[in-house]
């Protein structure tokens, strides 16, 4: 379950996201693992593969209804 609520169900590259926020990742989904100063361990991989990488893939493909360049959409202070 995620906090994402798309206007319609999304299917892309082994990623399935329902309108209710259920995220399904099919076996064989290609993830590059965690980013930053860490190594690919069994306790780190689920976060990278289970939500982070699929979420950003949906953003990059403009399927979430938000700007891809999130930093550019933050108003000046």
Three-point CA angle 36, 61, 33, nearest 5°: 25
The mean pLDDT value of the chain amounts to: 79
61 Rama sector, left if φ>0, alpha if ψ -120 to 50, beta otherwise: alpha
Contacts of 42 (CB under 8 A, 6+ apart): none
User: How much is the pLDDT for 24?
Assistant: 93
pLDDT tens for each residue of 61-71: 888 876 666 55
Q: Beta strands of the chain (E only): which ranges?
A: 10-12, 15-17, 23-25
Q: Is the pLDDT of residue 5 over 70?
A: yes
What's the confidence (pLDDT) of residue 20? 94
Q: Where are the domains of the chain?
A: 10-64
Choice between 34 and 5, residue whose per-residue pLDDT is larger: 5
Of 63, 49, 47, the closest CA to residue 12 belongs to 63
pLDDT band at 74 (very low <50, low <70, confident <90, very high): low
Would you say residue 13 has pLDDT above 90? no
Cβ–Cβ under 8 Å, residues 65 and 7: yes
Q: What is the pTM of this model?
A: 0.69
């Amino acid at each position: 379950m995620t906090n994402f609520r798309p206007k319609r169900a999304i299917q892309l590259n082994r990623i399935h996201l329902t309108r209710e926020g259920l995220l399904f990742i099919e076996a064989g989904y290609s993830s590059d693992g965690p980013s930053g100063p860490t190594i690919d361990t069994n306790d780190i991989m689920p976060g990278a593969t289970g939500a982070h990488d699929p979420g950003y893939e949906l953003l990059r493909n403009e399927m979430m209804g938000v700007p891809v360049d999130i930093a550019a959409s933050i108003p000046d202070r």
